[in-house]
Amino acid sequence: MMNKNTVLAWATFIMILVGILLICLGVFKYNEIAGWGFVSVGVGFFAIAWVFNALKGRV
């Protein structure tokens, strides 16, 4: 059974994976200005994952 903490843990894990993927796309595939956008969105995913991790046990 998945409770609220398990859902937040999975959401955090998925957000970290997507953030890493976006940062890797920005660094290795797109060397132009678009790469900066991918990297900044990836860092934003890390920030949201940090919030999800901080909410575990409080919701």
pLDDT digits (tens, 9 = 90+) for 10-49: 999 999 999 999 999 999 998 888 899 999 999 999 999 9
The domain containing residue 42 runs over which residues? Answer: 4-55
Neighbours of 12 (CB within 10 A): 19
Q: What pTM value is reported for the model?
A: 0.84
* Residues 8-13: contacts with CB under 8 Å, at least 24 apart: 8/52, 8/53, 8/55, 8/56, 8/59, 9/56, 11/49, 11/52, 12/49, 12/52, 12/53, 12/56
Q: Please give the helix or strand (H or E) that residue 38 lies within, else none.
A: helix 33-55
Query: How confident is residue 4, by pLDDT bands cut at 50, 70 and 90?
Result: confident
Q: Which two tokens stand for residue 48?
A: 């949201």
> Per the structure, how many domains does the chain have?
1
